[in-house]
Structure 1
Amino acid sequence: MVLSSYDFVIAGGGTARLAGSDQSDNLQTKIPAFYGALLGGEADWNFASSTQPNLLGRSVQLNQGKGLGGSSILNAQVFAPPTQGIINSWASLGNDGWDWDSLRAFYDKSYTYPSVPESSWETLGIRSWSTQNDSDQGPIQTSFPLATHPIRKAWAETFEKLGYHSADVPWFDGSVGAFSNLASVDSVSRERSQAANRYYDPIKHRENLHILTNATVEKILFKEGSAEAIGVQCHHDSTTKSVTARKEVIIAAGALQSPKILELSGIGDHNILAQHGIRTIKDLPGVGESLQDQLVVDLGFEAEALLETRDPIIRQEPEAVKQAMAEYTANRTGILTSSGILTYAYMPAGTLESHDGHQRLKTLLEDNRPKRGDLEGLEVARALAFYGVAEKALLDPAMPSGVYLSSLGQNPLESDPVTGQRTFKPLPGKHLVLAGILSHPTSRGSVHIQSSDAFAAPAIDPKYLSNPVDIEVFAEHMLYLQSLASSPPLGGLLRQPPKPSRSISHLADLEGAKEYIRIRAASMWHPAGTCSMLPEDIGGVVDNRLRVHGVKNLRIVDSSIVPVLPPGNLQSTVYAVAERAAWLIKSEHGLK
């Protein structure tokens, strides 16, 4: 059954854009503090990794948004900047036009920077502020929820004493240092600002725009006897349907499912396709490879009794929830206006900055460099190219190798260290979480189809910590992060001496930190790179205009094209990629 023909057919309804269900009326997608309640439900694909040998054989939950707006409807709303060095590395990998100077305008175009009155500067830990992108008031609204919370000032002052005070506007001077992070939360309504309500809702009544929800894309359709995309086939209302494209097919299904669609359609490694009886349209070995993701590890500490945290809400105490809902409904204020993540820091591994530490890191990197004898074909060039970028970032003290954040309240996403299943048992009292993120993992994995069934989940193997460099760097960061709990003035918000929320999270030494990482590490939900933007001769999948190599009229626009993850959250970068893609598409087709 052919539905109709369009100029452009977009497969995917996520942050970048057939789609999942419409969650626009779901209150949990609107109220910032309720993001955790969406996980595992109908708005979540609820993927999981294969068992990870370097995480004690655990399977890691990989939550991804399943609905209009994709993961922007269930993320923690952190709107963090990239660093200029990492964006410049995209260009150095052979992607002309994807350096910071070229991409910055598309970051600006995607969001509106908030105005901050001078009276709020001190509580935010900044010395000055100016709205930087007045000329491009972008769709995504950003703000500083809970702007007067004491964690913001204490965080900034603590890192300044340690020599890591960030520029007041890290978006434009991104390097190392601490800052209050923006949230994708509207400053007036105090509701989540996401792809569906900010990009789609204002134009949903256009006659030339049709959205088909609850549809599963089965494969891309090609012109007979050629590698020219002409549409997609999908399953909708128990029926197989086809939609044809006069100009382009655009895949925007995310890093875990865009490679799945390509492989089901005959684009990928011919050996994998043959295993599942799929005819090869284009032999492209890079499809599904180079999966990168950032791990996060949390350290919880008992907080002072007067510190406002989300713990009563996390414990679902009826009176606390009732009062918080009443305040939010009446005034759009209070603890429900935020996910609880208010502060960030981009950091080098402190002890590795010393002469001896730096030499140890150089030796570690050299000893674990990808070797030709361990790889085949294009894998060699691709692996060495990516490793070179990571190596440069790790050895440069002006570039972060880790990211730190604070979260107001105990971690409600705790999992059993053996099974990986969520077994959260809330603790009494108040807690403050300090979490560390491995910002530049050298380990890369893969995602591939397990069968020719479009309804089957892909096999996801991030190969977390498979390169020994990662756990060494991560452990150094976790020890430094733990020391912050005793550092004033941040330590003044905690019971002293610091008391871990759970005894297991006391890190005695470097080996203890490594063991804790293996037990507690979880995904930051930042999968990327599985359809990397790279030249084809080093294993790339799309070119610098996001067109699939060797396939006509087929483009990919989502996190799968990101060759190297930025250090902070991926949300802002996916919006920038989508904005640039829109500009590329319009310019190529003479559209306004």
Structure 2
Amino acid sequence: MWPMRSALLLAGFVAPVVRGLSPRTEIADSYDFVVIGGGQAGLVLGGRLAEDTNHTVLVLESGGNGDDYRDRIDTPAYSYFDSLWTTPLNWAFYTVAQSNVNNREIYWPRGKVLGGSSAINGLYMTRPGENEINAWKSILGDMDGADNWSWDSFYSAMKKSETFSPPTDDVKSQADITWDSSTHGSDGPIHASYPGFTFDQVGQWSEACESIGIPISDDMYGGSNWGAEVSTSCINPSNWTRSYSRTGYLDPLPDRGNYDVLANAHVTRILFESSSNLTANAVEYTSDDGKTRNTVNVTKEVILAAGSVGSPAVLLHSGVGPKDVLSDAGVDLVYELPGVGQHLQDHFSATLKYTTNAETAGSTFYDNGSERNNPLFLTYIDSAIAYVNASKIYGNELTTQYETILSKMNDSIPKSTYEDTVIAGYKAIYNTTAQIFNSPTGLIELLFMNSDGNGDIGVTAALQHPYSHGRIYINSSNPVDYPVIDPGYLGNSIDTEILINGLKLARTLATTSPLSTNLTGETKPGDSCQSDSDWSDFIRSAASTEFHPSSSCAMLPKDLGGVVDANLRVYGLKNVRVADASVPPISLSTHLMASTYGVAEIAAGIVRGFWNGEDSKDEIAFSGSESLSNVTGTTAGSKASSTGASGKGVKHNGVEVLKVKRRMVIWGICIGVAVGFL
């Protein structure tokens, strides 16, 4: 932890979070809508659906409320220097051994708290490009609802979630930041801004990129996501705190009696009425590691928002998924849907390390640097990036490389399944990804890492459109056991080739002035790494996730191994939808926060429109400009209903209900270790 003196200084900038709490012991036995997952997408859905006061809404979150760690959540720099990865707020998943990376099991941190990974991540707020969103839509063909996923619709949804603020004059000048306010939102729940403190070397990033032919982006938020920039981050500049789905979509809500949130409630399965048209009528959950199970009834819909790991796992434990997976796990088949958990994609990355004569964020924090006691220092976050497209990486070899990609499709069909529809879907995604290769959209992301704990500087290269796919599956009928994560990293040799070229470009950038003036030597992998074979060895030994898994409940036609249609309905289930990062059928060239907020906003509009008989996507009641300081200390107001849709309260074992910011939020007291998903 940082010195008390710094804590006291920071307190002058960060608005206090007052938690007025009053306990009760009952929740409803029935709700119109039950949202599974109170993470990034789930709190968007819960808040938006509850705007229709004639509907009752319950959000079930496996993790806790995070209040015991709120200072560490709120302080941007603590995502590096006092990381929540070592706390109960992290699922701390691992993949199975990956055969193409020296049989390493790759660490997958995911948020286990209200707000999900938006509460513990690196705060990058970037957006995908128009080319790739339209490519997503093209896979859907003439499917009903496909227009929801056009660029115009998706762009509008992302802007809707956002309130943009420009940097301070000092940070703008020092970091060489450019922006276009017209491409950003102005009154959404999530703040997109810049830290209140930066370093000179951050301002050298874009100039060095331009020197090697990577253009400086005037603004990559309006659909042209390529070039170099200092990106926006999810920071509320009114108090320099993290802006995440809880602070945006939960804490500031007005008085409502139709909305409950139950934390420490791990969903074990969805229950269905027995009929040919399967209808979910209840959700089962546990608050004590499976020792006891409770059910809550559903009158309208269940919406899965448990993330790329959790959403397919809940479906599988509910008996919905590939027949062989369910049989091997000992779960009774309810509906055979081969695509559940398939098509998993992730950004794979590796980092070059350099010693430096400059003061970095890491050396400032750990070595008591000159700005250590500047309270604004703790607002710093790494945000200098560049999205580099294939034409820059391959130049005159672009056409040859494209043909090579197409020729290798059949070499890497996932071995995890021989189901024809899933294989057809893999080929469709592969061909679509290859078409994006030919566009200006970023193929590799380069990131400037100024916060290493030993004071080094890193330059990371991250693959954005992998041709290798994996899957999420279960090997146990116990729903509190972790699912199996197999991303299939580097199963297609094209991914290794692209990442090698990205790392070579990263080295060129690091040795280019003015960035190179502060770098005194490469320590990882070191000067001995020269040949493609050397680079391949380095990748196998050092590459890891960029923390952006997606596509495990892919929106595709059913005959392509899809899980949801364009209206987010799970095939074969009358009233179950999925709305989170597991839905995009292709990996997107971006950090996933903005796109996930976009998915959730569109989903809320689809659901509200269906039940209200109209398009409700533009009916926004949140005041995104309302900061935490505006609602601090407000605890009065009407109680939330304890009866929900049924008019009858049910007491649950070990449940405590707390009222936060005028709305009932329920924290289940978990006995033992609660296990669940983001």
Please give the TM-score of this superposition, normalised by the length of structure 2: 0.78
1:366 aligns with 2:407: yes
Question: Any idea what the Cα deviations from partners look like across 1:65-102, whole Å, max 9, x if unmatched?
Answer: 00100011110001112111111111011161212112
Aligned residues: 558
1:206 aligns with 2:253: no
- 2:383 is paired with a residue whose SS is strand
Structure 1 residue 174: deviation in Å?
1.7
Structure 1 residue 205: deviation in Å?
5.6
Any residues of structure 2 matched to 1:337-376 within 5 Å, and which? Answer: 337-339=379-381, 341-349=382-390, 352-356=393-397, 358-369=399-410, 375-376=418-419
- 1:230 is paired with a residue whose SS is strand
Structure 1 residue 355: deviation in Å?
2.8
The match for 1:420 is none
Any residues of structure 2 matched to 1:437-586 within 5 Å, and which? Answer: 437-495=462-520, 499-502=521-524, 504=526, 507-586=529-608
Structure 1 residue 354: deviation in Å?
3.1
Conservation of the 8 A alpha-carbon contact between 1:352 and 1:361: no
1:244 aligns with 2:297: yes
- 1:581 is paired with a residue whose SS is helix
Any residues of structure 2 matched to 1:31-430 within 5 Å, and which? Answer: 31-36=75-80, 37-94=83-140, 96-97=146-147, 98-116=149-167, 121-126=172-177, 129-133=180-184, 136-146=186-196, 148-203=198-253, 206-226=256-276, 227-237=278-288, 238-305=291-358, 307-313=359-365, 316-317=366-367, 319=368, 324=372, 326-328=373-375, 333-334=376-377, 336-339=378-381, 341-349=382-390, 352-356=393-397, 358-369=399-410, 375-396=418-439, 398-410=440-452, 412=453, 427=454, 430=455
Flag the 1:32–1:271 CA change in 2: closer, same or farther, 3 A: same
Cα distance in 1 between the residues matched to 2:280 and 2:357: 60
- 2:309 is paired with a residue whose SS is coil
Question: Any idea what the Cα deviations from partners look like across 1:321-357, whole Å, max 9, x if unmatched?
Answer: 9x74x532xxxx11x2123x12110102567523346
Structure 1 residue 118: deviation in Å?
6.9
Higher relative contact order (CA 8 A, sep 6+): 2
- 1:479 is paired with a residue whose SS is helix
Flag the 1:117–1:338 CA change in 2: closer, same or farther, 3 A: closer
Flag the 1:504–1:117 CA change in 2: closer, same or farther, 3 A: closer
1:433 aligns with 2:458: yes
Conservation of the 8 A alpha-carbon contact between 1:116 and 1:129: no
Conservation of the 8 A alpha-carbon contact between 2:406 and 2:431: no
Flag the 1:505–1:104 CA change in 2: closer, same or farther, 3 A: farther
Cα distance in 1 between the residues matched to 2:217 and 2:76: 27
- 2:286 is paired with a residue whose SS is strand
State, as a whole percentage, how many aligned pairs show the same letter: 30
Conservation of the 8 A alpha-carbon contact between 1:145 and 1:185: yes
Conservation of the 8 A alpha-carbon contact between 2:154 and 2:602: yes
The match for 2:23 is none
- 1:189 is paired with a residue whose SS is coil
Task: Write the letter of the residue equivalent to 1:377.
Answer: D
Flag the 1:173–1:253 CA change in 2: closer, same or farther, 3 A: closer
Structure 1 residue 500: deviation in Å?
1.5
Question: Any idea what the Cα deviations from partners look like across 1:196-220, whole Å, max 9, x if unmatched?
Answer: 1111111286321111111111110
Structure 1 residue 280: deviation in Å?
2.0
Cα distance in 2 between the residues matched to 1:132 and 1:530: 30
Question: Any idea what the Cα deviations from partners look like across 1:260-312, whole Å, max 9, x if unmatched?
Answer: 1101111111222222332222210000101111112111111223x332234
- 2:536 is paired with a residue whose SS is helix
Cα distance in 2 between the residues matched to 1:15 and 1:219: 21
Cα distance in 1 between the residues matched to 2:27 and 2:65: 23
- 1:8 is paired with a residue whose SS is strand
- 1:409 is paired with a residue whose SS is coil
Cα distance in 1 between the residues matched to 2:528 and 2:597: 38
The match for 2:74 is 30
Conservation of the 8 A alpha-carbon contact between 1:121 and 1:129: no
Question: Any idea what the Cα deviations from partners look like across 1:408-465, whole Å, max 9, x if unmatched?
Answer: 132x5xxxxxxxxxxxxxx4xx321110100110000011111110110001100000
Flag the 1:126–1:191 CA change in 2: closer, same or farther, 3 A: closer
Conservation of the 8 A alpha-carbon contact between 1:309 and 1:432: no
- 2:361 is paired with a residue whose SS is coil
- 2:261 is paired with a residue whose SS is coil
Question: Any idea what the Cα deviations from partners look like across 1:109-146, whole Å, max 9, x if unmatched?
Answer: 11111134677654443566435445x51111121115
Flag the 1:576–1:372 CA change in 2: closer, same or farther, 3 A: closer
Conservation of the 8 A alpha-carbon contact between 1:301 and 1:431: yes
Flag the 1:352–1:486 CA change in 2: closer, same or farther, 3 A: closer
Q: Gaps (5+ residues) in structure 1? A: 413-426
Q: Gaps (5+ residues) in structure 2? A: 1-25, 43-59, 620-678
Question: Any idea what the Cα deviations from partners look like across 1:376-421, whole Å, max 9, x if unmatched?
Answer: 411221011110122112233x2221000101132x5xxxxxxxxx
Structure 1 residue 221: deviation in Å?
1.1
Cα distance in 2 between the residues matched to 1:373 and 1:407: 33
- 2:210 is paired with a residue whose SS is helix
The match for 1:417 is none
Task: Write the letter of the residue equivalent to 1:100.
Answer: W
Task: Write the letter of the residue equivalent to 1:99.
Answer: S
Cα distance in 2 between the residues matched to 1:515 and 1:372: 24
Task: Write the letter of the residue equivalent to 1:539.
Answer: G
Conservation of the 8 A alpha-carbon contact between 2:330 and 2:477: yes
Conservation of the 8 A alpha-carbon contact between 1:293 and 1:525: yes
Task: Write the letter of the residue equivalent to 1:464.
Answer: Y
Structure 1 residue 493: deviation in Å?
2.7
Q: Which runs of 4+ in 1 moved over 6 A?
A: 371-374
Conservation of the 8 A alpha-carbon contact between 1:302 and 1:432: yes
Flag the 1:109–1:280 CA change in 2: closer, same or farther, 3 A: same
Flag the 1:407–1:29 CA change in 2: closer, same or farther, 3 A: same
The match for 2:11 is none
Conservation of the 8 A alpha-carbon contact between 1:219 and 1:233: yes
RMSD (Å), alpha carbons = 2.4
Question: Any idea what the Cα deviations from partners look like across 1:464-488, whole Å, max 9, x if unmatched?
Answer: 0000110011101101111111111
Conservation of the 8 A alpha-carbon contact between 2:167 and 2:196: no
Cα distance in 1 between the residues matched to 2:294 and 2:324: 29
- 1:273 is paired with a residue whose SS is helix
Task: Write the letter of the residue equivalent to 2:233.
Answer: A
Flag the 1:352–1:165 CA change in 2: closer, same or farther, 3 A: closer
Task: Write the letter of the residue equivalent to 1:250.
Answer: I
Please give the TM-score of this superposition, normalised by the length of structure 1: 0.89
Conservation of the 8 A alpha-carbon contact between 1:43 and 1:65: yes
